[in-house]
A and B are shown apart, each in its own frame.
Chain A
Amino acid sequence: MSIISIKSATKRFPNGFEAIKGISTEIATGSFTVILGPSGAGKSTLLRLMNGLETTTSGSVHVTGETLSKSNLRKTRSRVGMVFQQFNLVERLSVVTNVLTGRLAHRSWLGSLFYLFRNEDIEIAQEALARVGLTDKAWSRADKLSGGQQQRVGIARALAQRPKVILADEPVASLDPVSSEEIMMLLREICDRDGITVVVNLHQVDLAKRFADRIIGMNSGRVVFDGTPAELSPLTLQTIYKRDEIENDTNLDLALSYA
């Protein structure tokens, strides 16, 4: 069973740049997928297509059986949590309020105008905070936390949505190695224990190999590899990270020899 399916999707931005050049893929329910690829390969765009932050130029995206369109955009987003590289928290709000924004889709705009939340929402937020181990920071302002902690708040916000899928766009790119490890472990655990499907964009080949069930390799808007971490050979890494205009890329060889 696939929870997300993408059918011959392309995405061309208004400036003419074609970020996605025809991708068809399925994401299995409950799986942990990592999308690898060099900067500008279209990883972010592909991820953002999956919750309607971007819309396809042609082709279609289906999430939990529904075709993404303008009319079900917010409903789909409420089922798909998103975690960002820059955390994207509201810095002036407390940690718990940030987590509670994950419940907004389930509440009318009138009540949320006055920052009123139901007890069940507050319980869900508490649970999510406990899950990421930040219960004691609940009333701190979000910008007072360290990068790793802020990212955990981001994950708690996604968890508070009670999502079917969590998309993580370079979740560890702004973090130190230890925090990166913790965040990846947390995401993996969420996938294993709660059965939430996780799709992560990554730069780090080693993290991808260790945490993923499946790796999708992208290069300039196309899928160039799709398989298990074991199938990811040095040669396939070459095709993923290949740079267009350069034939004998010594820097690439050097970089990959450490991967």
Chain B
Amino acid sequence: MKPKQTTPSTSTLPPKPRNLFPVWLAALLALLWLIVHDLEISFEALAYGLADMGEYFSRYRKPDFSELSRYLDLMKITLATALWGTVFALVVAVILAPLAARNLAPHPLAYRAAREILNFMRAMPDLLLALIFVAALGLGPLPGALALGVHTAGFLGKFFAESLERVGKGVYEGVTSTGANFPQIVMYAGWPSIQREALGYLLYIMDRNVRMASVLGLVGAGGIGLALHDTLRMFNYGQSAALILIILGSILIIDYASAWLRRRLS
């Protein structure tokens, strides 16, 4: 065996690899300008409009909290809608995610099917789903919870599946080698290995669902959004302002709570 002789050349560097970043940046800026031009977006109108907007927002100056207890009840309904939607998403995701993880799926067909179902659920906007469910089930929080559940099950299932795919091959092999079957491998090697990540994703989805549940009321899916919809339609700015503040406050609280919980977990 002859060791290969290499003479290190210290005098010249190899040619510098070409950096295309400036070209891409220029292309992006050109595209943006073209879009503004094409859609005839006028920044002048925006400047004039600012004054009008200021006048419109000033109508919300005096929030009217006279019906506070009713509003808080509505907020509770909205939170319950979000919670039920999240639980529904969790149940569906826990069932589908192991099938949608390439390294776990018992059969390639099961993998494809689970993936496509998750993709489909994710692709359906929850606002659209809420409209459909409201039409089918009538006004109220149930269609809202279902809409949130279906849409976020798609997300949660994908997140879980990707986490399950990242678990080391050896961990699955260790449990497989004892003669465990598919559900046992999932329960004893899969979920325990990703429990922290999974809880983090779940909190994120809960957080998102609270925000979305308030909006879903606007299409008739109950809760505080429906009340906001009504007061806005009646030009009742004071009450609208109060409702918006309550929504904002709740979202802030949920946001901090879930951030705190996630910090505790890691």
Interface residues of chain A, those whose CB is within 8 Å of chain B, are 51, 53, 74-82, 84, 86-93, 97, 101-102, 104-105, 109, 112-113, 115, 154, 157-158, 161, 246, 249
3 A-B pairs with the lowest CB-CB distances in the bound complex, closest first: A88-B174, A105-B179, A78-B179
A161 touches B179 (CB 8 A): yes
B178 touches A77 (CB 8 A): yes
- In the complex, given contacts A76-B179, A77-B179, A92-B193, what are 12 additional A-B residue pairs having Cβ atoms less than 8 angstroms apart? A81-B177, A87-B174, A88-B173, A88-B174, A90-B174, A101-B180, A104-B181, A105-B181, A109-B182, A112-B183, A112-B187, A157-B178
B188 touches A104 (CB 8 A): yes
How many A-B residue pairs have C-beta atoms within 8 angstroms? Tell me. 87
A91 CB to nearest chain B CB (Å):
7
Q: Tell me which residues across on chain B come within 8 A of A104, comparing CB atoms.
A: 175, 178-181, 184, 188
Does B68 reach chain A (CB closer than 8 Å)? Answer: no
Interface band, chain B: 20 to 34
A105 touches B171 (CB 8 A): no
Give a binary string over B180-196; 1 marks a CB under 8 Å from any A CB, 0 the rest. 11111001110011010
Taking CB atoms and an 8 Å cut-off, the chain B residues in 155-203 that contact chain A are 168, 170-171, 173-184, 187-189, 192-193, 195
B171 CB to nearest chain A CB (Å):
6
Cα of A22 to Cα of B175 in the assembled complex, Å: 29
A69 CB to nearest chain B CB (Å):
15
B203 CB to nearest chain A CB (Å):
18
Does B26 reach chain A (CB closer than 8 Å)? Answer: no
Does B29 reach chain A (CB closer than 8 Å)? Answer: no
* Cross-chain pairs A/B with CB under 8 angstroms, 20 sampled: A74-B181, A76-B179, A77-B177, A77-B178, A84-B174, A86-B170, A88-B177, A89-B174, A90-B171, A90-B174, A93-B188, A101-B184, A101-B188, A104-B180, A105-B179, A109-B181, A109-B183, A112-B183, A115-B187, A161-B179
Does B13 reach chain A (CB closer than 8 Å)? Answer: no
A101 touches B176 (CB 8 A): no
A101 touches B175 (CB 8 A): yes
A53 touches B177 (CB 8 A): yes
Give a binary string over B20-54; 1 marks a CB under 8 Å from any A CB, 0 the rest. 00000000000000000000000000000000000
Cα of A77 to Cα of B179 in the assembled complex, Å: 5
**Given B170, B171, B178, which contacts A81 in the complex, CB threshold below 8 Å?**
B178
Q: Tell me which residues across on chain A come within 8 A of B184, comparing CB atoms.
A: 101, 104, 109, 112
Q: Tell me which residues across on chain B come within 8 A of A90, comparing CB atoms.
A: 171, 174-175, 188-189, 192-193
Q: Tell me which residues across on chain B come within 8 A of A86, comparing CB atoms.
A: 168, 170
Closest to A105 in B: B179
Cα of A188 to Cα of B115 in the assembled complex, Å: 47
Known: A90-B171, A112-B187. A51 touches B192 (CB 8 A): no
A154 touches B178 (CB 8 A): no
B179 touches A93 (CB 8 A): no
A51 touches B177 (CB 8 A): yes
Cα of A249 to Cα of B1 in the assembled complex, Å: 8
Closest to A250 in B: B1
B230 CB to nearest chain A CB (Å):
46
Closest to B188 in A: A101
Q: Tell me which residues across on chain A come within 8 A of B183, comparing CB atoms.
A: 109, 112-113
Cα of A89 to Cα of B178 in the assembled complex, Å: 12
Cα of A81 to Cα of B179 in the assembled complex, Å: 9
